[in-house]
Amino acid sequence: MTTAHWLFGDQLGPHFLAPAAEGPGRDAPVVIIEARSVFRRRRFHRAKAHLVLSAMRHRAAELGDRVRYVRSETYREGLREAVGDAPVTVHHPTSHAALRLVRSLEQVTVLPPRGFLVPLTEFHAWAEERGTRRLRQEDFYRWVRREHDLLMDGDDPAGGHWNLDHDNREPPPARVDTLGAPAPYRPREDAIDEEVRHDLDRWEREGVARFVGRDGHRRFPASRREALAALRRFTEHRLAGFGPHEDAMLAADPVMSHSLLSSSLNLGLLHPLECVERAEDAWRSDKAPLNSVEGFVRQIAGWREYVWQLYWHFGDDYRDSNALGHHAPLPDWFLELDADAVTARCLATALAQVRDTGWTHHIPRLMLLGSYALQHGWDPRAVTDWFHRCFVDGYDWVMLPNVVGMSQYADGGRMTTKPYTSGGSYVNRMSDLCAGCAYRPTERSGDRACPYTTGYWAFLHRHRERLAGNHRTAQAVRGLDRLADLDELLCRARDLGDAPP
Ligand code: FAD
């Protein structure tokens, strides 16, 4: 009999079953395990729990008689119920914990990972070759573009430049509430979603699991068919406008021209190669300008791939990094996504987006939510856990580098050259969120001082010594000496404390 193949809940696309030398056998029976312990352990966003369960059950429905779908307390129990002690194969899972588990099970053969562009061994060789030099995302990205012949004209980057970021950092257009991009794809719920909603309601009633955030109509694809429709909608109608305002924020237009494809990629419903190839096709057939297409390819072939590689490269104890010695617990209003308690319009808006949808784009994540946590010295491990639980696209591999490294600078600069945080003037320049806010981005002390402006200077002051020695932050630190109201500002920062700003 053919060896059964086990699919984790983030291995749901056809490429995880495609037969190959190191893949499952053609027509191998499939096992999918819905382990309740995952939901008992963490208080996930309701929309995320719904999406993951819906996607797993949609995959099971597609596979029909080929799949044994087991609902159990743990993965171990589920596997036993599905195949007893018969051998199974599984593709390399996406977290250290899951890899430890499958390696500890004698009956399981672990096959190489799928769903990424660069094999782990090739990245390892690339990193080794660089010796003691810092690993730079830009170098990695260019290497991936060459290796995969992405957006290349022979040996040169298409259009003559590798990096078109200078065209992609514009503030939002003046005097508009929305970018006016065509609407993103919205899935329709079906009977599987109804069953999932019913189960989650029951789990909550019976105390099996507790959730955070609001339930609502499912917004993200749960099947390959839906994910392909979302990709098509994006590349045909929205990609052209992706680039210029990639970093901008508009209160009434949370999605702008972003793709909303992260959850589909991370569930394994889409392969990154098909996403970047379709984007390149759009450019080659004059349907989207190069800056937008390069920006999108950079996000997927550059950032996403790099983050995946760094997760394994840095190892499991990376999660315990805490170079800045931040230990404050997250306050309840943040944990509960209580946006209504927050006065600062930018933070209230981002927190409400998370509460209502489990998603915001990268700038609210980095420069509003993450930046606030960093300025207030919240424990990076708890911040990582919060992001992981509250975002529909959050998984261990993608959270650790993005939150521990990029957002909280807890690794002391292994991933980025400086901490990402700013005062209110950045938010004011890149969004319409300061208009109508009770605070003033230019004021750093006093009752109307913007909490981000106060927090920024207080953060620089707290880590003055370390940041003075970093050429990218030294000048900002020198600015502290010119502040006549530093004492008043630090008082204001203390007064803000844990309360919602
Ligand atoms: P787009 O803006 O349309 O970008 C296209 C794609 O690029 C995304 O779908 C995503 O797959 C990929 N991408 C871009 N940047 C990154 C990155 N830094 N890491 C990984 N993929 C990237 N992304 C996640 O997928 N899961 C997360 O849990 C996650 N947490 C984040 C936490 C913080 C603090 C920050 C700063 C970023 C995080 N990101 C995460 C990256 C990024 O914010 C999201 O991928 C993006 O906002 C998802 O929306 P989108 O699909 O519309 O992305």
Which amino acid type is present at position 295? G
pLDDT in tens, 96-132: 999 999 999 999 999 999 999 999 999 999 999 887 6
Would you state the pLDDT for residue 456? 97
CA 262 to ligand 1: nearest atom: 9
Closest-CA residue to 470 (of 427, 416, 406, 429): 416
**pLDDT score of 27:** 87
Q: Cα of 76 to ligand 1 centre, how many Å?
A: 31
Question: Whole-prediction pTM value?
Answer: 0.96
Element (H, E) at 478: helix 474-480
Residue 77 confidence (pLDDT)? 97
Q: 68-89: per-residue pLDDT in tens? A: 999 999 999 999 999 999 999 9
Q: How far is the centre of ligand 1, averaged over its atoms, from the C-alpha of 309 (Å)?
A: 15
Indicate the residue type of 423.
G
Low-confidence ranges of the chain (pLDDT < 70): 1, 132
23 beta partners? none
Ligand 1 contact via 387 beta carbon (within 6 Å): yes
Secondary structure percentages of the chain, helix, strand, coil, to 5: 50, 5, 40
Q: Which CATH entry fits the domain spanning 320-496: 1.10.579.10, 3.40.190.290, 1.10.1040.10, 1.10.150.80?
A: 1.10.579.10
Task: Say if ligand 1 is within 6 A of residue 234 CB.
Answer: no
pLDDT of residue 168: 86
DSSP category for residue 156: E
| Strand spans (E) along 160-291 | none
Q: Facing residues of 257 across strands? A: none
d(CA 51, CA 57): 10
SS (H, E, C) 29-85: CEEEEEEHHHHHHCCCEHHHHHHHHHHHHHHHHHHHHHEEEEEECCHHHHHHHHHCC
Q: Which two tokens stand for residue 270?
A: 């889409």
* pLDDT for the residue numbered 338: 98
| Secondary structure of residue 328 in the 3-state scheme | strand
Separation of CA 359 and ligand 1 centre (Å)? 10
Q: How far is CA 403 from CA 28, 136, 293, 316, in A?
A: 38, 17, 26, 14
* Architecture, CATH, for domain 4-111: 3-Layer(aba) Sandwich (3.40)
If DSSP codes are grouped into helix, strand and coil, which group holds residue 154? coil
Distance, CA 125 to ligand 1 centroid (Å)? 26
Q: How far apart are CA 113 and CA 8, in angstroms?
A: 12
CA of 262 to the centre of ligand 1 (A): 6
In order, the DSSP letters of 293-311 are HHHHHIIIIIIIHHHHHHH
Tokens (6 digits) for 325: 């010695």
Contacts by residues 202-209 (CB-CB < 8 Å, ≥ 24 positions apart) = 203/36, 203/39, 208/36, 208/39, 208/40, 209/36, 209/39, 209/40, 209/43, 209/44, 209/49
CA quadruple 384, 386, 388, 392: dihedral positive or negative?
A: negative
In the numeric block, which tokens belong to residue 477? 């630190």
State the pLDDT at residue 133: 73
Give the DSSP per-residue string, 103-151.
HH-TTEEEEPP-SSSS-HHHHHHHHHHTTTSPP-HHHHHHHHHHHTT-S
Q: What is the pLDDT of residue 252?
A: 96
Q: What separation in Å is there between the alpha carbon of 315 and the centre of ligand 1?
A: 21
**Residue 358 per-residue DSSP state:** S
What is the predicted pLDDT for the residue at 165? 85
Return the ligand 1 atom nearest residue 403 CA: 34
Q: How far apart are CA 393 and CA 99, in angstroms?
A: 20
The CATH code for residues 120-192+196-213+221-314 is 1.25.40.80
Gyration radius of the chain's alpha carbons: 23
Asked whether the beta carbons of 99 and 90 are under 8 A apart, the reply is no
Q: Which atom of ligand 1 is nearest to the CA of 394?
A: 28
User: Are 361 and 258 spatial neighbours (Cβ–Cβ below 8 Å)?
Assistant: yes
pLDDT at 4: 95
For 239-292, what is each residue's pLDDT tens digit?
Answer: 999 999 999 999 999 999 999 999 999 999 999 999 999 999 999 999 999 999
The answer, yes or no, to whether any atom of ligand 1 lies below 6 A from the CB of 115, is no
What are the DSSP E strand ranges found in 251-337? Answer: none
Give the start-to-end residue ranges of the domains of the chain: 4-111, 120-192+196-213+221-314, 320-496
Atom of ligand 1 nearest to the CA of 234: 3
Residue 372 in contact with ligand 1 by CB distance below 6 A: no
Determine whether the shortest distance from the Cβ of 261 to ligand 1 is under 6 A.
yes
Furthest CA-CA distance within the chain: 78
Which strand (E) or helix (H) includes residue 225?
helix 224-233
Q: What is the pLDDT of residue 32?
A: 98
Dihedral angle sign, alpha carbons of residues 134, 138, 144, 149: negative
Q: Please identify which residue in the block is written with the tokens 């596997």.
A: 79
Whose CA is closest to 29, among 71, 73, 61, 64? 64
